[in-house]
Amino acid sequence: MVRLIALIIMLIPGIFAAYGIKLMRDMVFGILQNPFPYLWVQFLAGLLFFLAGLGFIAGFILHRDRKKNKVQPRFQRK
């Protein structure tokens, strides 16, 4: 059950990151999505979604690896 909850926690930021990539790709092709008034706003929102999702996943993995002592000395807590 704990692994299922962890999977769900990892899927939500992954979905946000994928949606951010989609928004940035649509801006490159000139497709304006509904809630955004300009293409550059759409690109910034996509970049923000992507970086937030990627940052959460990277932080989760780093936290897990720190608990198991599988990181290089420069990433260990002092």
For 27, the domain range is 2-69
| Structural domain includes residue 76 | no
**57 Cβ partners below 8 Å, 6+ apart?**
10, 13, 14, 17
Q: Does 50 map to a domain? A: yes
Is 23 within a domain?
Answer: yes
Indicate whether 75 belongs to any domain: no
Token digits for 2?
A: 């704990």
Q: What percent of the chain has pLDDT over 70?
A: 100
Res. 78: pLDDT tops 90: no
Around Cβ 14, how many Cβ atoms within 10 Å? Answer: 14
Residue 77 lies in a domain: no
2-28 helix and 39-67 helix, angle to the nearest 10 degrees = 150
Question: What is the reported pTM?
Answer: 0.86
Domain presence at residue 78: no
Whole-number Å distance between alpha carbons of 20 and 50: 5
Q: What total number of domains does the chain contain?
A: 1
User: Which pLDDT belongs to residue 38?
Assistant: 97
Amino acid 20: pLDDT: 98
